[in-house]
Chains A and B, each alone.
Chain A
Amino acid sequence: MTWLLDFYNYRIVAQYLDRFAEGLRNTLTAAGFSLVLSLLFGTIIALALLSKRSAFHRPAAAYVAFIRATPLLVQIYLVYYGFPALLPFAKSWNDMYFGIAALVLNSTPYMGEIIRAGIESVPRGQIEGAKAVGMDYGQRLRHIVLPQAFANTLPPLLGQTAVLIKDTSLLSIITVFEFTSAGILLNSERVKPNESFLTIALGYLLIYLVILLLSRGVKQWLAGPAWNAQA
């Protein structure tokens, strides 16, 4: 057993267990809030991108292009230093708020693109049929388009969620105490890189595996109606 303790001393990890738990909790909090908000804003962006009015789709397209062509780390710095300077209400925010704001800003365009592709995947005949029975725009969206689009987009949305959870690791750089920060803390106090970084790598991997299994389950579950209708 000594060779294992030499390479990976799990007793040290056990001492830091509550720190890791705290970090994990913050990671999931940041990811959860960012997921909900970016889905919400992503739907708005998707509708703006699909709009025929250039007053809607041009700003949306410019925003999507800016986010997709710049690194998340730089966006985090821009939010972290920019929000308190530009927005008066952001002065009293703590680091977690800035982190979530940056993640939402970053993942909204990706969610928006997925939702847009999902909406476009609904066959035209469905919308025409809904019009023929006298549904208005809101009814068509609610009863016809969004449910089918949702089924088509669930697997890529889960993939993007996995990306979002991994992206929360960058919040450690603006001193949010999330999962990666717990590893960095252990390494800086004990100088034990194996115990620090292999532990967090394993933690992230487990979260990823859960989402992977979920994604496979969803594909099985949806393999009936929505997917076959497309082909």
Chain B
Amino acid sequence: MGLLQGASELFPVSSLGHAVLLPSLLHWAFKQSDPSFVPFLVLLHLGTATALLILYRDEWIVIVRGFVAAAIRGQIRTDTERLAMLLLVGTIPAGVLGVFLESRIKSLFASPYEAAVFLIVNGALMLGFEVVRRRAERRSGRPGSSRPEDEERFAHAERISFRAAALVGACQALAFLPGISRSGVTIGGGLLAGLQHREAARFSFLLATPVILAAGLVEVPQLFSNGVPVGEYVGGACLAGVAAYASARFLLRYFRSGRLDPYGWYCVAAGLASLALLRFGA
């Protein structure tokens, strides 16, 4: 479960959707209503957030310094300060929607059938993002140019507008629906805002870190409730962290020239297969 959560949290394939679907399809004796499930999930998220912090450790130091400097000065002077403020602007809508809507939405759509349907919707969204992106590339592109050349015509994360950062941040709320991928919708939102694929993934990962970390840290006291096997859960969290780190490295390399389409097709296929298995019995 730790490996699954760590890998699928950053891949645009919905970790929540897989967490709802797989135990049901594989008949794992694993209940999400169990009181010890929340602490387990908390530790897995902390593992993922730690992996992202390690991956971007140098960048986070510069971002935090830039944030403090720009906040005190009341003025943005460098790209890093702008990125720090963009992350704040993107995090606020995600935080507001997360605190007020997350548990309500999750409880409304917690069944495997709904997760499978939303997984198909997620796939359609990924494919849709790429259709829009290809149009933008055709409008601005030169015939015969290579993929890396096409990508170079699009922006870095620091150049996104504040309104776009807020919209990308708000897109994260869609991921409360099991089957919709947080990284998928934020990478897609970044593409619509005119970012390079790799930069959209980078912005998505940077945006995810404070939200995942804060959500995890706030729930830490639950780990110390009676009957929680902390040792086993920490093992799961370490695996989640390793999987998340490897996934992020892979995705950042992949998005130098890769697109969202394979993940879109995977989600559509996995959603349809899950629906069939749930309907006719695995």
Do the two chains belong together in a single complex? Answer: no
